[in-house]
Chains A and B, each alone.
Chain A
């Protein structure tokens, strides 16, 4: 990692060099894992999972044609991209049973496959989920991604206080929208060229850049958002606006210049704090559910097992 290369990547990797740069970023992350796993690890995974049923298999099959349905590589079950997508997702679900398969990973792999071969794409997923993105982003309760949405909210308050106050006044919960941005690394919301620019820096620097780009979205449309008078118009605006962000250069400028300084340590501290809060909330919710189940069990049986009790 050199400051020069970082600056170059931030200014955009040319299409013809993208595969090389992405591959290098990924190799850097997974070198050690790959060495320990040994040669042929990916092929072995594919052999192992052949014909084995798992909950992941079912969901992956449901999602294959719903990943990038408008892209010719993924628009049919026998399209070349679809087969690779299936293999990579299945292999990964076996490789990392804690995560298994989470919706969203399909988008990540589909984008990786546009530039990398199947095995490299598998390793890119390893790199993303296990190195570039905090732990438990895609695991069973998505707890770390929930925490990150709160980190984003804190950062918005610091970087764009006027807008933050406006959102507060209209009681806008940003995470309703920003979850998708983070879980798909903006694949769902930005035009392809813009999202590839996010990906360049994401693969080089990690998912911290997602905060930068999310805030850049708000910064670039701050005045329009301030004019929105209710939460509905804000959500409507936020749904339509990102897909119009075709000027990746100016968005990158917002992300990497306007928003400085952007110390990682601060994000780490905020993350740790919010992670604990979210975990406590989830535990609380679980307790509520458990109590409910217990109180249901004590209550006399209703006519239909699915009917609700008095509570």
Chain B
């Protein structure tokens, strides 16, 4: 799904770039996917965040130098049987955050499975970040920082330990993703957005990977 200009450029006047990216959150149940999003989008945290059924949609904008990056965020359900719906949500996504809980080894294993699936089935140039969430609970840590870091290096992932509760690294991980996403101009990115395909076709070519996003 391409991030083509939602910015109005009536006379082609140059403004700061506006880029729009689809980002999906994946990971085992109760690792804190929704909490990370809630912290990032609303700056809030609830000890008991409603479990996500199906998926939830939110948006947030970050600024990088002269570029405004608009994230279209799909926060998915973690229970295994919702797995069959996941392709609907990561299809056409330019970025993914795969989340695990540092106090639960199983969730790290599950995260690796998600990474594999994304590498195999999502857009070829998808930017994947691994988030070791609940870093505030380091006294109960079961997943070593170094293990996750070396796994991330081997697989070309961005990696941070995060805490939705304390806000540690939450904005940072989204910013790091925003920085890594291609933002070069795309000649084909005109204001006529309406009828462009919007990344629901698995086989659709993903312009931003070739040309970057809009201006």
Contact = CB atoms under 8 A, between A and B. Distances in A.
Q: Do A and B bind each other?
A: yes
Interface of A: 59, 62-63, 65-69, 75, 102-104, 106-107, 138-143, 146, 169-173, 175-177, 179-180, 183-184, 188, 229-232, 235-236, 238-239, 282, 285, 292, 303-304, 306-308, 311
Interface string B183-204: 0000000000111111110000
B198 A103 contact: no
B94 interface: no
A59 B193 CA distance: 42
A22 B166 CA distance: 44
A176 B74 contact: yes
B50 A67 contact: yes
Interface of B: 6, 20, 29-30, 46, 48-59, 70, 72, 74, 77, 79, 81-82, 84-85, 87-89, 112, 115-116, 119-120, 151, 154-155, 193-200
A229 B194 contact: yes
B194 A63 contact: no
Contacts of A67: 50-51
25 contacts: A62-B51, A66-B48, A66-B51, A69-B46, A75-B48, A102-B81, A103-B29, A103-B82, A104-B53, A107-B53, A138-B81, A141-B84, A146-B84, A177-B54, A177-B57, A179-B55, A180-B53, A232-B6, A232-B59, A235-B72, A239-B56, A282-B84, A285-B87, A307-B154, A311-B120
Contact of A171 (B48, B87, B199): B199
Given A106-B51, A176-B57, A311-B120, A142 B81 contact: yes
Contacts of B56: 180, 239
Nearest to B113: A306
Contacts of B193: 229-230
Contact of A180 (B46, B55, B154): B55
Overall SS of chain A's interface: loop
A11 to B, nearest CB: 29
Contacts of B116: 306, 308
Contact of A306 (B72, B112, B196): B112
B49 A236 contact: no
B84 A232 contact: no
A133 B154 CA distance: 46
Contact of B58 (A176, A230, A239): A239
Closest 6 CB pairs of A and B: A171-B198, A179-B54, A180-B54, A66-B51, A69-B48, A65-B48
Contacts of A292: 120
B57 A236 contact: yes
A63 B151 contact: no
B109 to A, nearest CB: 9
Contacts of B59: 232, 236
Given A66-B30, A235-B72, 20 more contacts: A59-B79, A62-B30, A66-B50, A75-B48, A103-B51, A103-B79, A104-B53, A139-B81, A146-B85, A170-B194, A172-B198, A176-B88, A179-B53, A179-B85, A180-B56, A188-B50, A229-B193, A292-B120, A306-B116, A307-B155
A299 B198 CA distance: 36
Contact of A231 (B79, B115, B120, B198): B198
A277 B147 CA distance: 42
Contact of B84 (A142, A230, A238): A142
B57 A141 contact: no
B36 to A, nearest CB: 15
Contacts of A171: 196-200
A296 B72 CA distance: 34
Given A69-B50, A142-B82, A239-B58, A62 B29 contact: yes
Contacts of A306: 112, 115-116, 151, 155
Nearest to A306: B112
B54 A63 contact: no
Contacts of A68: 50
A142 B85 contact: yes
Contacts of A138: 81
User: Which of B6, B81, B195 has most chain A Cβ within 10 Å?
Assistant: B81
A143 B58 CA distance: 26
Contact of B194 (A140, A141, A169, A307): A169
A124 to B, nearest CB: 18
A231 to B, nearest CB: 5
Contact of A232 (B20, B29, B120): B20
B53 A188 contact: yes
Contact of B119 (A62, A176, A282, A308): A308
A73 B46 CA distance: 17
User: Which of B20, B49, B84 has most chain A Cβ within 10 Å?
Assistant: B84
